[in-house]
Structure 1
Amino acid sequence: MTPLLLHKYHGLGNDYLVCHRSVAEQLSNEQIRILCHRHYGVGSDGLLIDSGETIPTLRIINPDGSEAEKSGNGLRIYARYLFDIGRVGHQPFLVHTAGGDVHCHVHEDPHQITVEMGRANFTPAALPALLDLPEALNYPLKLADETLSVSLVSMGNPHCVVPVGKLDLAQVHRLGPHIENHPLFPRRTNVQFVEVVDRHTLRIGIWERGAGFTMASGSSSCAAASVMRKLNRVDDRVSVNMPGGELHITFSDGFHVSMCGPVHKIASLTLDKDCFAGGDNALSA
């Protein structure tokens, strides 16, 4: 049996465990849920699985055991992991994800990673969302007790962006799960509440599909900035501020999105065989 070796990193407080495919193949979805639990496991916002193939291929498992197509912070962390184990250097390289191919670049300071996230897609069917519209900008989304003006965008994974006059994280916690699980989104959605500070600065609060409230999110930053750019409320270079810190988003022709931000390694660790023995409470928590 391959030792259950894991590596833990965080990007602005959004933390992930990384492992090789040979380790992940020994873990069930239930065990991954325990592993990500903050009290019964190691604690993580998800598990990143390295295929070990010549062209790096990344799978992303959420803390609830579901699979995500793409993650901006996850990609930055995966790029740093590949650099740390000597698979890549400082030259840009390709990564396959279920949400599309991206190019990553580990800077001379390896704490800083740039990811070319691809083109923002404003077609509701790309999320998917059950709307027969070419775009859904300022769309009236009906909840139980209120209606919100939202805009939809795919970054290879689904996003519902909610502009607000003033960011209130209590509102993120209150409404995030209702939007994530709204019938409009058959595969659920990530949610961002966005305050425009000025044409170069956003503040956002994030409710992540399958993970809940998160300190930071790369794809959410790209999605929020893309919608605000589409609505002409920001320019081509945008700083996105989250509870965990700041990411820098840049747009080129055709809404191609580039993201740059930090990654830090926390630990390498080998799971004890006792790790999953007391995890029933984790699955019900």
Structure 2
Amino acid sequence: MVEFVKSHGLGNDYIVFDKTQINFPLTEKNIRLICDRNRGVGSDGILVLEKINNQEFKVRIFNPDGSEAEKSGNGIRILAKYIYDYKYTTEKEFFIYTLGGKVKASVIEEQNGRAKTIEVEMGKVTFRSSEIPVAGPEREVIDEELKINGEILKITCLSIGNPHCVFFVDEIDEEKIKSLGPKIENNPIFPNRINVQMVKVLDSNKIEIRIWERGAGYTLASGSSSCAAASAAYRKGLVNNQVEVIMPGGTLHIRINPDWSVNLIGPVEEVFKGELSEEMLYKLKD
């Protein structure tokens, strides 16, 4: 029996497994099958938890295309809720190791003894091309021109443990992000592919974004994308250091600190828990 929990952060949903319960290989084929919304459980990704001790945990984050992600703001909040709700720790503050670095998670609001709102210290932002990475000479990638579909976009790129490409618009156009997203994600100047955010600045404390997520496609919400969009807007002097980020799935609150570390606050909600069937496990072990 392989149990799992499914939760979402503003509509961005993940399946959580305890590593000790998994009895099938985490291959690209298996990840794709589990995330498939018609033939599997269905999700925007998979989180695999490993407990180190009462205050430290590891996570592997998988995209629905089978690739592995370095970091996810919504994923980390979902995992933190799972850790707290299912008594993997007795603490309200603990650390999670990701491929994109160590983060601190804090339960700041509860409901009926279960985590409702989580704050995550997401790590530091860098705009350096070699650290994102972006091809070409060493530089900060701010307002560079990128030609896509015959259109010149001004892009700002950064990493917060995973790579992001941000461009600003006067009006949000969902069809445009769906069209440009995959072309930007897979552009050869991004050797590890990249997450993409379309941003409209509403005022000095508020932005609206649309997201094309690397390995997942168009996404209702993303924690790391919210951090990236807010950081790019702040770097360009368009907003203050505390920003509300509005997405189709809801709103997250971002704080950019003087050292360019970023804090993320947002809700998370469990949807259901279950177990993979014998038939599914047979397919996963095949």
Name the TM-score, length of structure 2 as normaliser. Answer: 0.93
Specify the code of the residue in structure 2 equivalent to 1:77. I
Please give the alpha-carbon distance, in whole angstroms, between the structure 1 residues aligned to 2:98 and 2:258: 23
Structure 2 partner of 1:121:
126
Please give the alpha-carbon distance, in whole angstroms, between the structure 2 residues aligned to 1:185 and 1:25: 35
Matched, 1:4 2:2: yes
Shift of 1:38: 1.0
- Which protein has the bigger strand share? 2
Runs of 5+ in structure 1 lacking a partner? 280-285
Is contact 2:60-2:98 (8 Å) kept? yes
Please give the alpha-carbon distance, in whole angstroms, between the structure 1 residues aligned to 2:175 and 2:40: 27
Matched, 1:221 2:226: yes
Please give the alpha-carbon distance, in whole angstroms, between the structure 2 residues aligned to 1:176 and 1:49: 27
Shift of 1:276: 6.5
The alpha-carbon distance between structure 1 residues 23 and 128, as it changes in their structure 2 partners (threshold 3 A), is farther
Shift of 1:117: 0.5
Q: How does 1:230-269 map to 2 (within 5 A)?
A: 230-269=235-274
Q: How many residues align?
A: 277
* Equivalent position to 2:138, from 133, 145, 155: 133
Matched position secondary structure for 1:194 = strand
Cα RMSD after superposing both structures: 1.5
Specify the code of the residue in structure 2 equivalent to 1:99. G
Shift of 1:91: 2.9
Shift of 1:4: 1.4
Shift of 1:23: 3.7
Structure 2 partner of 1:41:
40
Please give the alpha-carbon distance, in whole angstroms, between the structure 2 residues aligned to 1:84 and 1:266: 13
Structure 1 partner of 2:165:
160
Please give the alpha-carbon distance, in whole angstroms, between the structure 2 residues aligned to 1:65 and 1:96: 20
Deviates more, 1:234-243 or 1:51-60: 51-60
Q: Deviations over 1:175-228 (max 9, x none)?
A: 000000000111100000000000000000000000000000000000000000
- Which 4+ residue blocks in structure 1 deviate beyond 2 angstroms? 22-25, 88-91, 275-279
Q: Deviations over 1:250-285 (max 9, x none)?
A: 121111100000000011110112226789xxxxxx
Please give the alpha-carbon distance, in whole angstroms, between the structure 2 residues aligned to 1:230 and 1:26: 44
* Equivalent position to 1:185, from 190, 212, 220: 190
Q: How does 1:170-181 map to 2 (within 5 A)?
A: 170-181=175-186
Is contact 1:40-1:278 (8 Å) kept? no
Shift of 1:22: 2.9
* Equivalent position to 1:206, from 208, 211, 217: 211
Structure 2 partner of 1:80:
81
Please give the alpha-carbon distance, in whole angstroms, between the structure 2 residues aligned to 1:22 and 1:90: 21
The alpha-carbon distance between structure 1 residues 24 and 130, as it changes in their structure 2 partners (threshold 3 A), is farther
Please give the alpha-carbon distance, in whole angstroms, between the structure 2 residues aligned to 1:278 and 1:91: 38
Name the TM-score, length of structure 1 as normaliser. Answer: 0.94
| Percent of aligned positions that are identical | 43
Shift of 1:174: 0.6
Structure 1 partner of 2:101:
100
Runs of 5+ in structure 2 lacking a partner? none
